[in-house]
Amino acid sequence: MRSLSRARAIAYGAMALFGVGAVMITSPLPRASELPALATRGQARAASELRVRFDTLGSRETLVHVLGRAGISARDARAALATKLLEPGRIRVGMPVQTRSRLTDTAPTEILLGLAIDRILHLRRNGTGWTGEVEQLLWTTDTIVVSGVVTSHLYAAMNVAARDVLADSLRDRLTYALADLYEFRVDMSRDLRVGDSFRVVSEREHGPSGAVRVGRIVAATMKLSGTTIDAIPFKSANAGGEFFDGDGRPLRCCFLRAPLEFRRISGRFGLRRHPILGTTRRHEGMDYAASSGTRVRAIGDGVVIRAGWTNGYGNTIDLRHPNGFVSRYGHMQGFAKGVRAGTRVAVGRTIGFVGSTGLSTGPHLHFEVLVNGRQRDPRQAFGKQSIKPIPDAERRAFVAARDQARELLGSPARFATADTSSAKRATQQ
């Protein structure tokens, strides 16, 4: 029992190793002495019988040097670090290092190396050498409900809605996740209007040292100009995708709503004054402002029918889709490797990169959709795509899943689910 308590004290005390990584995504961490994990009497007694030393790997030094400061000989240090569990790619400047020894020992008998916020390599000296194991530390999961109203754009709405439950960077990640979930139905940069709203249920994970990260989206709903689009998780044996709308149609359609993953529009379909020619001419498409080099993706499966220079369009790709539509991508910096006339591409594949070639005043992507050879407003060309819904045989199960998801979406703006903690030892040697 005494050895078990001591082992627990070591594992809990090792949580202090992860302050360096956690600071990147959350507020500063408490000191090791402030961690509540050492609160029990047995653990505190076990910790008092150990000599503990904290250190970090500095620039232009090796772990052998760090362990030397702790009193481990170079020969012993090399023997301990010879384990296959220590991947070279995980040895980085700033890596936390903790050594432990009993008060009666002259040199440390345990080494703990911080591989990640929630992973440590625990090395122990025995009579014949060193043994090691990678330990996965404790994460807990709760669930948050975030509800917002659009007043300018989705980022601003999420910042207001989730400011009490998520840090700035995590609010952005939830925004990205929500946009990705709806990317076949909603272009978050042009389809949203003032007064549109969203509600999303998401997991939130808490790390062993106070780090927080956004987990998977459990359910969501968006109201756009009075039309509601639910995102209901459901596993179907016949219909593709992981999320479905309230009618049982997959959220994944034939075409993405936007050719860029990060969306910001500088132009609108219709009449405008051409920025270079100075004349008023019909602008047959949509302009997406983005930094040079931003990846451009195919909005649907298709075959490249042109990839080259096209007058004012600069570097341009024309992509023919199975339904006869053609999507056009202009002013690009260049094309992705292997993309040329005749190349077959899948929806979402990178086909080129944003640039400012041709008649362009700055980096952006010009995007068009042609139907029967004529330019059409991309917002109108696709219309309501024909999507095969969940079959009747699965309808009852889907309705049950939909009702459960809607019940979650109707919960108060913040609540916690049952604890889904996990702590395990991943590998040993």
Name the nearest CA neighbour of 408 among 140, 142, 141, 143. 143
Q: Give this prediction's pTM.
A: 0.67
The confidence band for 6, taking pLDDT boundaries of 50, 70 and 90, is: very low
Token pair of 126, please? Answer: 């025995």
Token pair of 162, please? Answer: 């989730």
Residue 406 CB coordination number (10 Å): 14
The mean per-residue pLDDT over the stretch 179-204 comes to 90
Give, in degrees to the nearest 5, the angle at Cα 264 between 262 and 267: 145
Residue 32 CB coordination number (10 Å): 20
- Please report the pLDDT score of residue 5 as a whole number: 41
Phi, psi of 341 (to 5 degrees): -55, 130
The confidence band for 31, taking pLDDT boundaries of 50, 70 and 90, is: very low
Percent of the chain predicted with pLDDT > 70: 78
Looking at the chain, which residues constitute the CATH 3.10.450.350 domain(s)? 139-253+391-409
pLDDT in tens, 255-280: 898 899 854 444 444 444 444 444 44
Note whether 304 and 351 are within 8 A (CB).
yes
Q: Where are the beta strands (DSSP E) in 129-226?
A: 130-149, 197-206, 212-224
Compute the distance between CA of residue 413 and CA of residue 358 in angstroms, rounded to an integer: 49
pLDDT in tens, 211-241: 888 999 999 999 998 899 999 999 988 887 8
Longest dimension (CA), the chain: 87
CATH class of 270-381: mainly beta
| Residues whose CB is less than 8 angstroms from the CB of residue 289 and which lie 6 or more positions away in sequence, other chains included | 264, 265, 266, 362, 363, 364
The confidence band for 384, taking pLDDT boundaries of 50, 70 and 90, is: low
Compute the distance between CA of residue 34 and CA of residue 15 in angstroms, rounded to an integer: 11
Token pair of 90, please? Answer: 């995980």
First to last CA, the chain: 24
| Residues whose CB is less than 8 angstroms from the CB of residue 272 and which lie 6 or more positions away in sequence, other chains included | 280, 281, 283
Q: Which residue has the higher pLDDT, 372 or 162?
A: 162
Domain topology for 139-253+391-409: Nuclear Transport Factor 2; Chain: A, (3.10.450)
Most trustworthy range by pLDDT among 132-136, 152-156, 230-234: 230-234
- Please report the pLDDT score of residue 359 as a whole number: 87
| Residues whose CB is less than 8 angstroms from the CB of residue 203 and which lie 6 or more positions away in sequence, other chains included | 141, 142, 143, 144, 214, 215, 216, 217, 218
Q: Which residue has the tokens 């539509």?
A: 325
Phi, psi of 244 (to 5 degrees): -135, 155
Note whether 120 and 134 are within 8 A (CB).
yes
Lowest mean pLDDT segment, chosen from 62-66, 171-175, 415-419: 415-419
- Please report the pLDDT score of residue 284 as a whole number: 66
Compute the distance between CA of residue 229 and CA of residue 405 in angstroms, rounded to an integer: 13
- Please report the pLDDT score of residue 253 as a whole number: 82
Give, in degrees to the nearest 5, the angle at Cα 246 between 241 and 249: 40
The confidence band for 385, taking pLDDT boundaries of 50, 70 and 90, is: low
pLDDT in tens, 294-353: 999 999 999 999 999 998 899 999 999 987 889 999 999 999 999 999 999 999 999 999
The confidence band for 252, taking pLDDT boundaries of 50, 70 and 90, is: confident
Q: Which residue has the tokens 């809607």?
A: 406
- Please report the pLDDT score of residue 262 as a whole number: 54
The pLDDT mean for the chain works out to 79
Polymer length of the chain:
429
The confidence band for 103, taking pLDDT boundaries of 50, 70 and 90, is: confident
Give the DSSP H/E element, type plus range, for residue 428.
strand 422-428
Looking at the chain, which residues constitute the CATH 2.70.70.10 domain(s)? 270-381
Name the nearest CA neighbour of 53 among 128, 108, 133, 129. 108
Lowest mean pLDDT segment, chosen from 40-49, 70-79, 259-268, 391-400: 40-49
Q: Where are the beta strands (DSSP E) in 166-299?
A: 197-206, 212-224, 227-233, 243-244, 270-273, 280-283, 286-289, 295-297
